[in-house]
Amino acid sequence: MGCWLQKGVSYFLLLFLSLFPLQKGMAEELVELSSTDWEPYAGEQLANYGFFSEIVTEAFKRENYKVQYSFRPWTRALRDAREGKVHGVMVAYRQAEREKYLAYPDVVLHVKEEFIVLKDRAVTYTGKLRDLGKLSIGVLRGSLEADELNAAGLNTVQVYRLIDGVRMLSRERIDAVLLPRIVYSYYVTQLDPNIFKRPQIKILEPPYKTYELYVAFSKKKPNYVKLTEDFNQGLKKIKQDGTFDKIIHQYVWDE
């Protein structure tokens, strides 16, 4: 009798242990994040919702979370996070005013805004805008950068979409464009290879600007501190195991 009882206990113990990983997987916690369509960082129609979203997904996955994304105009995405309708907002700048209602974990991405120039253009760039005086430079119409370059007396060609600037550069209608190289790389892949000739380019150093992009969590949610800590842990893990770099390198190529 004692032998059968012992076998029965052992059986149920093994059954419990075999089911435990399944139960852990089923307990995956849902995180709802809002954003706006900002290619190639995030977008409803992009693969994996964009590479920034892919980084966030993988970081949370390491800590047993599942992420659900919603895409809407930026003002609404930010408002939903502020009011606690979602757990957070992503592809966000860090600003003092926003810290009143958003908790910021570690920075996800450092972005460099750079002058991308046709390789045969003679220019010695020291970080001073006056070094670019002879170049025609494609910039986004109405942007702060357009205002700054115009104020410096540079020859700007303003475009409604940055992809138009990339296309003009490929046809050598302008000498340079100002945008992050990761955005340039993305637009190159979007242009028709039958009509688009990838130009020989060089990227001028130092960058014109460097800024940081974050995912930020609503302080209206009672678990925002834990979300912040867990996301930091997950982000650290994907950087250590190479996942972070693997995602980035899908979008950036070397010239």
Domain at 27-109+212-249: CATH code = 3.40.190.10
Summarised one tens digit per residue, pLDDT across range 24-69 is 445 689 999 999 999 899 999 999 999 999 999 999 999 999 999 9
Predicted pLDDT at 189: 81
In the prediction, which pLDDT does 251 show? 73
What pLDDT does residue 195 have? 60
| 205-232 mean pLDDT | 97
CA–CA separation, 201 and 126 (whole Å): 18
Give CA–CA dist 117/56, Å, rounded. Answer: 32
144 Rama class: left (phi>0) / alpha (psi -120 to 50) / beta: alpha
Mean pLDDT of the chain: 88
Q: What pLDDT shows up at residue 20?
A: 46
Query: Which residue in this structure is represented by tokens 């809407």?
Result: 72
**Model confidence at 5, in pLDDT bands (50, 70, 90)?**
very low
Provide the pLDDT confidence category of residue 255 given band limits of 50, 70 and 90. very low
For the chain, what are the domain ranges? 27-109+212-249, 110-210
- The values of phi and psi at residue 83, to 5°, are -85, -5
Q: Where are the beta strands (DSSP E) in the chain?
A: 29-35, 65-71, 88-92, 102-103, 109-118, 136-140, 155-159, 176-180, 201-203, 209-218
pLDDT reading at 18 higher than 80: no
Residue 128, number of CB atoms within 10 A of its CB: 9
Distances from the Cα of 124 to the Cαs of 93, 121, 202, in angstroms? Answer: 32, 10, 12
Tens digits of residue pLDDT in 146-172: 999 999 999 999 999 888 999 999 999
110-210 belongs to CATH 3.40.190.10: yes
pLDDT tens across 97-132, in order? 999 999 999 999 999 999 999 999 999 999 999 999
Whether 110-210 and 27-109+212-249 are alike in CATH topology: the answer is yes
Residues 118, 132: Cα–Cα separation, whole Å: 13
Six-digit token string for 83: 């009011």
